[in-house]
Amino acid sequence: MPQLNYNAQANPYLGPPGTATMHGDAQASDCTPLAGPGAGAWDITSVDLGGACPTILVGNDGFIQVLTTQRFGRDLTFLQPKISILDPGGAVMSSLEIPKGALLGAVYAYVDNHNRMVVADGTGTLIRVAHDATGRGLHVDQRADVSSFLSHTPGDQIVGLTPDWQGRVWLASREGRVAMIDENLREVRGLVLNRFNGAGERVDNSISSAPEGVSIITNRGMYLLNAPAGQPQIVWATAYDAGSHRKPGKLAWGSGASPTFFGPNGSDYLMLTDNGDFQEAVEVYNTKTGRKLGSGKLFMPNASGSENSMIGIGNTIIAACTYGYPYPRYPEGAGPSTPAKALFAPGFERWDLTPRGLRNVWRRTDMYSSAVPRYSAADGLIYTCERPRGPLGLLDGTSIKAVAVDINTGQTVHEQTLPGLVTLFGVDTLQMVGTIDTHGTWWQGTIGGVFRISRKGA
């Protein structure tokens, strides 16, 4: 098979491609141009950061920036968010707490072209957090109050944010409101996403951008937006099968994916996973026109669901199943799932877009991915974690493995058990994403901190 080269266009207002956002880049490709630790033996160490680490970013200066939702209480309640700066060896250089918000608020963030973490805190303030040349001196460098934008619905919170190619920052709130702020964080302009539900739609995942515009997935549809005259407007929108209920192993009722731009030129296509009751599907659209180009049924019927953004590179898609994953807590308003509980189901697949639509290239029905997969275009490997079932068929939370999978064959080429405990709460990777830095080190978030995974002896 041909080499899958990294081709996402670099956003000039973001940090390095592959490490600037939770999903790697503005397009949410979940790919990186950097090589990972490879298929040989790894050295694995842990850094206890006192809470779940869903966001791990790296700026041009090489410091690892981790956004942690600190945990207090036996019920695994996620409370105060904290930003930590780590050096490439894993030493904590500095930390800064920011006001708390909803469970998914203050989770999505990005690193800008000045190595600042950009995030919305729990007070309805967009902040840019800077550090000095030594990784210390964390401080809020710039802020913008967007609380008035959120005041239309009590308790509304910013969920996703991304810069566009003009430097404007786009924000999406849980209650389906969209704001756009100029590069200097001054003027706020917005609209409401309600094309498929007049009472309002909900946003539960991060948002993405490409030169063509900004994409947002609500619990009813996918939108492409732009602002040619300085005012946000909808370019096109499409409904998807939202299903009749939330599934176990998903954090919300609707699509569990962030929108992903991908294609031979980096953003030709836009994709999502739906929430079909019997079996979910991946759907691919032409970015410019909104025309559907293909659809493919994912995973096993009646055990099909994904909370994770998919890998998108060239004409290739990688999808991982999360149906039944035992999250310790669900966001406010998630509601009950149907069924109430289910065993974590396996599923890991590659699909390619062809002139005739989507074609399944390989399918793993023996793999239980417990992290958002990340593809390295430099070494051809997909890096993720696996939480296999134990001898009695139950999940074994003490033997989670880091794995590398060949993107061409779907076969695992190396795996290694994550050692010991990060904290007394265990090593659960909780479907969080990993990041690969310029040294080939894979940083993987867990429920209690991060793992540092590097080539043995490097």
We report the CATH number of the domain holding residue 381 as 2.130.10.10
pLDDT at 332: 76
**Where residue 105 falls among pLDDT bands split at 50, 70, 90?**
very low
Mean pLDDT, residues 339-366: 96
Least confident of 184-198, 231-245, 356-370, 406-420: 184-198
Model confidence over 323-336: pLDDT tens digits?
999 888 787 778 89
- Count of domains forming the chain: 1
Give the integer Cα–Cα distance in Å for 96 and 16: 23
Greater confidence (158 vs 421) lies with 158
Say if CB 46 and CB 422 are below 8 A apart. yes
Where does residue 185 fall: left (phi above 0), alpha (psi -120 to 50 degrees), or beta otherwise?
left
% of the chain at pLDDT higher than 70:
92
Residue in this structure with the two tokens 């869903």, named with its chain if needed: 54
The three-state (H, E, C) secondary structure of the chain, written as one string: CCCCCCCCCCCCCECCCCCCECCCCCCCCCEECCCCCCCCCEEEEEEECCEEEEEEEECCCCCEEEEEEEEECCCCEEEEEEEEEECCCCCEEEEEECCCCCCCCCCCCEEECCCCEEEECCCCEEEEEECCCCCCCCEEEEEEECHHHHCCCCCCCEEEEEECCCCCEEEEECCCEEEEECCCCCCEEEEECCCCCCCCCCECCCCEEECCEEEEEECCEEEEEECCCCCCEEEEEEECCCCCCECCCCCCCCCCCCCEEECCCCCCEEEEECCCCCCCEEEEEECCCCCEEEEEECCECCECCCCCCCEEECCEEEEECCCCCCCCCCCCCCCCECCCCCCCCCCEEEEEEECCEEEEEEEECCCCECEECEEECCCCEEEEEECCECCCCCECCCCCEEEEEECCCCCEEEEEECCCCCCCCCCCCCCEEEEECCCCCEEEECCCEEEEEEECCC
pLDDT at 455: 97
Least confident of 45-49, 160-164, 420-424: 420-424
> Is 255 part of a structural domain of the chain?
yes
Give the integer Cα–Cα distance in Å for 188 and 165: 17
> Is 24 part of a structural domain of the chain?
no
pLDDT at 421: 55
> Is 271 part of a structural domain of the chain?
yes
pLDDT at 441: 98
Largest CA distance in the chain: 61
Greater confidence (78 vs 147) lies with 147
pLDDT at 359 over 90: yes
Give the integer Cα–Cα distance in Å for 58 and 315: 27
Greater confidence (111 vs 73) lies with 111
Which is nearest to 160 in space by CA: 179, 143, 144? Answer: 179
Which is nearest to 50 in space by CA: 345, 445, 416? Answer: 445
In degrees, to the nearest 5, what angle opens at C-alpha 32 toward C-alphas 27 and 34? 155
Give the integer Cα–Cα distance in Å for 182 and 230: 9
> Is 11 part of a structural domain of the chain?
no
pLDDT at 229: 84
pLDDT at 424: 45
Q: Which residues pair with 366 in a beta bridge?
A: none
If you average pLDDT over every residue of the chain, what do you get? Answer: 91
> Is 12 part of a structural domain of the chain?
no
pLDDT at 76 over 60: no
Model confidence over 385-435: pLDDT tens digits?
998 876 555 555 557 899 999 999 999 999 999 986 544 455 789 999 999
**Where residue 447 falls among pLDDT bands split at 50, 70, 90?**
confident
pLDDT at 74: 45
Which is nearest to 349 in space by CA: 405, 402, 267? Answer: 405
Give the integer Cα–Cα distance in Å for 305 and 277: 9
Give the integer Cα–Cα distance in Å for 148 and 228: 24
The domain in which residue 237 lies consists of 31-455
Least confident of 212-216, 340-344, 363-367, 439-443: 340-344
Mean pLDDT, residues 222-250: 95
pLDDT at 106: 53
Q: Which residues pair with 261 in a beta bridge?
A: 270
**Where residue 44 falls among pLDDT bands split at 50, 70, 90?**
very high
> Is 451 part of a structural domain of the chain?
yes
Burial letters 8-41, b for 16+ CB under 10 A, else e = bbbbebbbbbbbbbbbbbbbbbbbbbbbbbbbee
> Is 93 part of a structural domain of the chain?
yes
pLDDT at 339 over 60: yes
Phi and psi angles of residue 185, each rounded to the nearest 5 degrees, phi first: 60, 45
Using the Cα atoms of residue 59, residue 62, residue 63 and residue 69 in order, give the sign of their dihedral: positive
> Is 8 part of a structural domain of the chain?
no
Say if CB 21 and CB 13 are below 8 A apart. no
pLDDT at 194 over 60: yes
Mean pLDDT, residues 377-387: 96
Residue in this structure with the two tokens 């996620």, named with its chain if needed: 78
Give the integer Cα–Cα distance in Å for 291 and 90: 46
% of the chain at pLDDT higher than 90:
76
